[in-house]
Structure formats: structure tokens, C-alpha cells
Chain A
């Protein structure tokens, strides 16, 4: 169980840095289709911001922001977005994840539809990666709660 840090420097700097880390993670996700980065990297950076908050403010406060149940739902939602876009392309007469076919639904060119489809898939990947990473970290951090130890 991780408790609130006693160090004022760690606490204050984590508080100031976390919003910028989250924005950087979202930038990596959103610009993944024409610059290095993408869903997985962005999701990991998002999860890192939660870990930084957890080690500076304690696990209890983080559970108020993102409970384990919400993390579970978000991870499933991410997979659903990925698979849903893939299946949508299948239903529209293309192959699995054949984004060009999305132009039948969206009012854009097939080339631009590909870009948008990749963006949607990346958002799904980022959500799933962030939620699963957070779940893993929460489980590791709180292992001594379940065993009922005295520590």
C-alpha cells in the first residue's frame, strides 16, 4: 500500500507536472498517424502520470479519480473501439481494419477516412493500454491489503 509522500518537493512538483504529462500523452496519441508515437506509447505515458500521482498523493486519492472498476470498463471499451472499427470496415464490404471503406459513412475522401480510422483505433489502443497498466500498478501497489498483513 502506497501512502502519501512526506517530501514536499516530490508532492508539489508531481502536482504541477501531471497535467502537462497528460497533455503530452494525448499529443502523442493524437499525432500518431503522422509522427512517431501512437496509441501504445501514449497510453503508457498516461498510465505513468497516474503512477506519479499515486506515489506522491497515495493510492486512496487516485482511487477517487480512477477506481479499479472504471479502469476495467475503460480497458474493455478500448478493445471494443478497436474491434468495432475493424468490424465496421468488414460490414462496409472491405477487409478487417480496411479504413478506406469508412468513407461511405463519413463525408470525406477515402484517404482522409484512413487517417481518421487510424486515429480512432489509436484512441482505443491508448484507452486499453492506460487502463490495463493502471490496473497492473494498482494490483502491485495494494498487494498487502488483500493478504491482510499487519504492515
Chain B
């Protein structure tokens, strides 16, 4: 009787010990898993940081090269002397300035579609010239009449343009056109002073805004890069 009790007690003790061991093993396993998870997380984060750093340096370098080339063209235009001495001086100046100011000229623009934007901007200029000429004639006819039928008014409209540079292009186009002046832009709302009702109505049709949006590929215009990306995905899906 006592022997069986003793045996039972030992068995119980062994069982408890075994449970404790299993428990401890479980804890150690989960701890190991946690640490490996931690290190993997750290690794991934480090690689991510290295990658974004490289990306940043790459864009900075692209901006540096772009700024230097544009500034060098400007220097040659100003200088007009093509001997080796002045060209070298210009190259040194441009590299120094581009190094110091590489973040100014291309802030928040995508390098990929710069050529398209430049070409569209050049084709926009003749249209703007015609617009300026028409408004000039209109304002001249207003001023030269005896009664001078002007109707000054301030009109506000909410723009669909998103980036700073396109808002500035539209604002300066409006100011360049005689009869209208952009007074302010606040949170995407333009405050424009118009000399007569005809000028104000022309502005309200939004033709100029559409054209500026077309230059900078904004609003309801698809981005070229998006189309290219979608094409890649479509090709991958089909195979």
C-alpha cells in the first residue's frame, strides 16, 4: 500500500517535471521565434533604408546633372565667348551652383515626363500670344470708346490644378493677358480681377485652365507613366 503510494507520488512528480520541461521548451521556442522575427524586421528595415537612401541620392544626382546642363546653356548664351578659358570658367561655376542648388529647379517634378512637358509648354506659347493679342484689341476698343463701358469685377473660381508649378503657370498666363490680373491663390481658389464682362466670361469657360492642365498632364489627363505601368501588368497577366 505504501509502496504503491510512493510509486504514484514519484510518477506524479515525473509528470509534473515533464510538463514543466515542455512548458519551458515552448517558452524558449517562442522567445527564439520572437528574436528571429525582430532581427528579420530589423534587416528588412535596414535594407529599406539603404534602398530609399540610394533612391534619394539617385534623384539628387539626376537633379544635379539636369541643373548643371541648363545653367551651362544659360552661361554660354550670356557669355558669347567660345575660347577654352571662358568655357572652363563657366563649367566650374555651373558645377558649383548646381551642387549648391540642385534641390531648387526640379523640386517635386518627375524627371521621366520632363521632355513631354517642355514640348507641350513650347506649343502652348503661340496660343497664349494669340490670346494676348485678342485681349489687347478688346481692351483698346474699350478704352478708346467715349463711354468707356468697363465693368470691373473680382471673380473667384476653384481650380482643378494640383501642383504649385501649374497653378503659377495659369496665374501668370492670366496676368499676362490684358484685362485680367490674378490677385491671389488661396487653397486652390483663384481670385482674379477682370476689367469687363466679356473678359470674365472668357476666363470662366476654363479653356486656358484646360490647356495648362494638358501641359502638366494633370486632372483628367492620364499620366504617360501610368499607362506604361498598366501595360506591363496587363502583359504579365496574359502570359
A residues adjacent to B (C-beta < 8 A): 7-9, 11-13, 15-16, 18-20, 22-24, 26-27, 30-31, 65
Instruction: Please give me the 8 A-B residue pairs with the lowest Cβ-Cβ distance, nearest first.
Output: A26-B93, A12-B168, A27-B78, A19-B101, A12-B164, A15-B104, A23-B71, A22-B97
Are the C-beta atoms of A19 and B97 separated by less than 8 Å?
A: yes
| CA gap between A13 and B94 in the complex, in Å | 20
Please give, as numbers and ranges, the residues of chain B lying within 8 Å of A16 by CB-CB distance. 104-105
Instruction: Let me know if B165 is at the binding interface, CB within 8 A.
Output: yes
Instruction: Let me know if B67 is at the binding interface, CB within 8 A.
Output: yes
Interface class of chain B by DSSP = helix
Are the C-beta atoms of B172 and A9 separated by less than 8 Å?
A: yes
* Minimal beta-carbon separation of B3 from chain A (angstroms): 87
Give the interface centre of A11, A18, A27, A65 by most chain B CB atoms within 10 Å. A27
Given A9-B185, A11-B164, 5 new contacts (CB under 8 A) = A8-B185, A12-B164, A23-B94, A23-B97, A26-B75
B residues adjacent to A (C-beta < 8 A): 67, 71, 74-75, 78-79, 81, 86, 89-90, 93-94, 97-98, 100-101, 104-105, 107, 164-165, 167-168, 171-172, 182, 184-185
Are the C-beta atoms of B93 and A30 separated by less than 8 Å?
A: yes
Are the C-beta atoms of B104 and A19 separated by less than 8 Å?
A: yes
| CA gap between A22 and B78 in the complex, in Å | 13
Are the C-beta atoms of B93 and A20 separated by less than 8 Å?
A: no
The chain B residue sitting closest to A15, CB to CB, is B104
Please give, as numbers and ranges, the residues of chain A lying within 8 Å of B75 by CB-CB distance. 23, 26-27
**Given known A9-B172, A18-B104, A65-B100, contact A23–B93 (CB-CB < 8 A):** yes
